[in-house]
Amino acid sequence: MIEFRSVSKQFPDGTLAVDDFSLTLPSHRTTVLVGSSGSGKTTLLRMINRMVDPTAGSIEIDGVDIASLEPVKLRRSIGYVMQNSGLLPHRKVVDNVATVPLLRGVPRKKARADALAMLDTVGLDRALADRYPSQLSGGQQQRVGVARGLAVNPNILLMDEPFGAVDPIVRAELQQELIRLQTELGKTVVFVTHDVDEAFLLGDQVVILQEGGRIAQIGSPADILAHPANDFVASFIGADRGKRVLHVERHDGRDVLVDSDGRLAGVLVGDSAPGQVGVSR
Residues that bind other proteins (CB under 8 A): 46, 49, 51, 72-77, 80, 82-92, 99-100, 103-104, 132-138, 141, 148-149
User: Nearest to residue 22, comparing CAs of 4, 45, 34?
Assistant: 4
Cβ-based nearer residue to other proteins, 133 or 228: 133
CB contact set of 87 (below 8 Å; sequence gap of 6+): 93, 96, 133, 141, 144, 145, 148
In the bound complex, what is the minimum distance in angstroms from residue 83's beta carbon to other proteins?
A: 8
Per DSSP, the three-state class of 166 is coil
Cα–Cα nearest to 281, from 271, 267, 260: 267
Burial 52-82 (b: 16+ CB within 10 A, else e): bebeebebbbeeeebeeeeeeebbbbbbbbb
Closest contact distance (angstroms) between CB of 181 and other proteins is 18
Q: What's the closest the beta carbon of residue 198 comes to other proteins, in angstroms?
A: 20
CB of 204 to other proteins, least distance (A): 24
Q: Are 264 and 277 in contact (CB under 8 A)?
A: no
Q: Is 40 left (phi over 0), alpha (psi -120 to 50) or beta?
A: left
Alpha-carbon 84 to chain mean position? 14
Structure-derived torsion over alpha carbons of residues 231, 236, 242, 245, reported in degrees to the nearest 10: -50
Shortest distance in whole angstroms from residue 138 CB to other proteins: 6
Burial tier of 84 (Cβ tally within 10 Å: 0-12, 13-18, 19+): middle
Cα-flanking dihedrals φ and ψ of residue 156, to 5°? Answer: -115, 135
Nearer to other proteins, 7 or 158 (CB): 158
What's the min distance (Å) between Cβ of 67 and other proteins?
17
Q: Please state, as a whole number, how many other Cβ atoms lie within 10 Å of the Cβ of residue 229.
A: 15
Q: How far is the CB of 175 from other proteins (least distance, A)?
A: 20
Question: Backbone phi, then psi, for 101, in 5-degree steps?
Answer: -55, -40
